[in-house]
Amino acid sequence: MSVSALGAILALVVAIVLILKKVPPTYAMIAGAVVGGLIGGAGLANTVTYMINGTKDIVSAIIRIVAAGVLAGALIKSGAAARIANSIVEKLGDKNSLLAMTLATWLLTAIGVFGDVAIITVSPIAIQIAQKTGYKKLGILLAMIGGVKAGNVMSPNPNGIAAAETFHVPLTSMMAAGIPAALTAIVITTLLAKGLAYKGTDVVADSDGADTVLLPSLAGALTGPLVTIMLLLLRPVAGITIDPLIALPVGGLVGMAVMGKLKDFVSYLEFGLGKMSGVAMLLIGTGTLAGIIANSTLKEVIVQLLQKAGLPGFLLAPISGTLMGAASASSTAGTTLASQIFGDTILSYGVAALAAGAMIHAGSFVFDGLPHGSFFHVSAGCVNMKINERLKLIAYESFIGICMVTVSTIVYGVIKIAG
């Protein structure tokens, strides 16, 4: 028995309202799924079945995301992420400091650091620079947010893993497919950040910045990510498949060894697992919600609207990614929801799996920074920005996301680079 389109919409609305009420997102999505299934006419038994089946579909992605915690823990706890960020800013200097902030957060997220951690890592450096240059909060924060978007769309982070898993394509291919959107984000962010450089409230330093005394060498800091990428590249280059479940932890462990940090590997693993467990729990809630919506008539309603408007079928990919990203205020949850719910329908239009995943993934970054998501508040807090000022950036960061998904759609939907 299908869930009505109204039930699917109510499932999303209830989840969003509960998240805004500070209910943990996992429970909010589970509650939304239950309400949507019951009101949508599925009955209690079918509602539970749909929720469980939806969660089953993303278990493999969850396992790989947990494994990614080894690399994330190594990068963050060892100081590798801070060393990489410091090196970029030092090389580019104060004259190009806004670009340096963008590139620093881009590289950190691109090699596997969470977006919120990347922006927290770079923000003390950004605050110091702003003190010297007179830059305001809006400019430096947008520079870092744009960098996070650029890095995340081509990273081995949970969002990239979720897209690769759902469409059964190599993680390296999904990462490479995000490059056009990433380059777009860097260019647009640089232009917008310059325009906002002297707008907003003054930056007040409350930190002495990152401690560089005990940080590893740049070569050591980059070892873990490079090993991971090399292992993943063995599939397209030599036909040897090393699953991310293996490549990500191995990269993290090799990085620890090169940096002389193996004695601390237990604490690094605990930290990485702590970071990933939150995402894993989020995806469990996402799976229950996806199960309800996937078994609803909402897909047919959206497809019919596209057909009546005379729009090509491939547009379902970027549109669904954008909508689900907005509903969850999370690129990971948005990518997972859109891929699970609309993936088969998109492929039925003849869209290649990699192209579908790339367009959905890029779309998830349009509204992933809305106030009902954690990134909105983490990013504001890292530069001591008040909520009313942080709200002013939503239009700018959403514009960056729109440019990203537009380029991705042109490349993979119109030109069909990926087939």
Residue pLDDT, tens place only, 235-251 = 888 899 999 999 999 99
pLDDT at 178: 97
Map tokens 């590289």 to a residue.
107
Q: What is the DSSP letter of 232?
A: H
Phi/psi of residue 325, nearest 5 degrees: -65, -40
Classify residue 40 as exposed, middle or buried by CB count within 10 Å of its CB (0-12, 13-18, 19+): buried
With a cut of 70, list the residues of the chain below it in pLDDT. Answer: 205-213, 419
**Whole-angstrom Cα distance, residue 39 to residue 37?**
6
pLDDT at 27: 96
Full-model pTM: 0.90
The residues near 71 (Cβ < 8 Å, ≥ 6 apart) are 112, 156, 224, 225, 228, 248, 249, 251, 252, 255, 272
The two tokens of residue 112 are 């596997």
**Whole-angstrom Cα distance, residue 29 to residue 196?**
36
CA distances, 41 to each of 3, 297, 299 (Å): 6, 11, 16
The two tokens of residue 207 are 């930190």
pLDDT at 131: 87
**Whole-angstrom Cα distance, residue 84 to residue 102?**
13
The answer to whether 104 touches 143, Cβ cutoff 8 Å, is no
pLDDT at 206: 55
The residues near 263 (Cβ < 8 Å, ≥ 6 apart) are none
Q: What is the DSSP letter of 392?
A: T
Map tokens 């999904």 to a residue.
174
**Residue 296: helix, strand or coil by DSSP?**
strand
**Residue 3: helix, strand or coil by DSSP?**
strand
